[in-house]
Amino acid sequence: MTSTLRLFVATAILFAAPVLPASAQSVSPAQRTEIEAIIKNYLVKNPEVLQEAYAELEKRQATLEAAKHQAAVKDHSEALFNSKRQVVIGNPQGDVTMVEFFDYNCGYCKRALSDMLELMKNDSKLRVVLKEFPVLGEGSVDAAKVAVAARMQDATGKKYLDFHQKLLNNRGAVGKAQALAAAKDAGFDVARLEKDMAGDEPKATIEESFKLADALGLSGTPSYVVGSEVVVGAVGLPNLKEKINAARCGKATC
């Protein structure tokens, strides 16, 4: 038996003892003291064991988290991929869908815009779903309402994408005024936008996004769902490509 294995056997005995019935316990106080000394001495001499154990714990936790995410994606797939309250760009009949939850005031979302555009440019089979997820304050909520009203004017998503790029490329803080200006530049009817903003649809759309985000365990932006996998954060173009390929063919490179 290796020293590492002896350590873990001793640890298991030590920590199992308090929960065993009295008649089944076989570790005496003297033995317990000896085991504690062995463990302490071993860890002092071999601290890398703690790093290995922590790495294994993180790996197992990541596996469990991925399984939870996949179950949540499956349970909410209709609202996630086919809701009437979302914008679809790229190839509407694509073989892989990438959903992005974003906030117009999110600096990482601004930087991640180029990743999305590059993916669509080079992947004719990619379907992209955009979901407003305004988590960064009142200005973000107001901008999201303008975005929803813009979606109501543009079933194809083409003008919306133009608006989307203009607003994410805005250098300062974004609110209603900036969103309306971007929508006007993209050719939307501003009077109709303001009327639709006051209706029920923007609120219902934002509420749906928050419910989905809560079900998926999302708290920040950007966050993605690629196939059945949840991806949190601006992970970069190469990582997104790998996730798309994994959804498409089960490998990092198809």
* pLDDT one-digit tens code per residue, 169-194: 998 999 999 999 999 999 999 999 99
Question: What pLDDT shows up at residue 13?
Answer: 45
Question: What pLDDT shows up at residue 113?
Answer: 97
Distance CA 172, CA 165 (A): 14
For residues 230, 232, 234, 239, the Cα torsion angle rounded to the nearest 10 degrees is: -40
| Residues 54 and 83 occupy one common structural domain | no
| Residues 104 and 24 occupy one common structural domain | no
Q: Is 60 exceeded by the pLDDT of residue 159?
A: yes
The sign of the CA dihedral 81, 83, 85, 87 is positive
| Residues 121 and 244 occupy one common structural domain | yes
| Residues 52 and 112 occupy one common structural domain | no
Query: Does residue 72 sit within a domain?
Result: no
| Residues 47 and 158 occupy one common structural domain | no
Query: Does residue 70 sit within a domain?
Result: no
Amino acid at 166: K
How many domains does one find in the chain? 2
| Residues 233 and 117 occupy one common structural domain | yes
Question: What pLDDT shows up at residue 24?
Answer: 45
Q: Whole-model pTM?
A: 0.76
Q: Please name the residue that has the structure tokens 């590059």.
A: 118
What's the domain range around 18?
Answer: 3-58
Question: What pLDDT shows up at residue 7?
Answer: 52
Query: Does residue 69 sit within a domain?
Result: no
Question: What pLDDT shows up at residue 37?
Answer: 83
Query: Does residue 189 sit within a domain?
Result: yes
Tokens, residue 79: 């609202």
Instruction: For residue 190, report the phi and psi dihedrals to the nearest 5 degrees.
Output: -65, -40
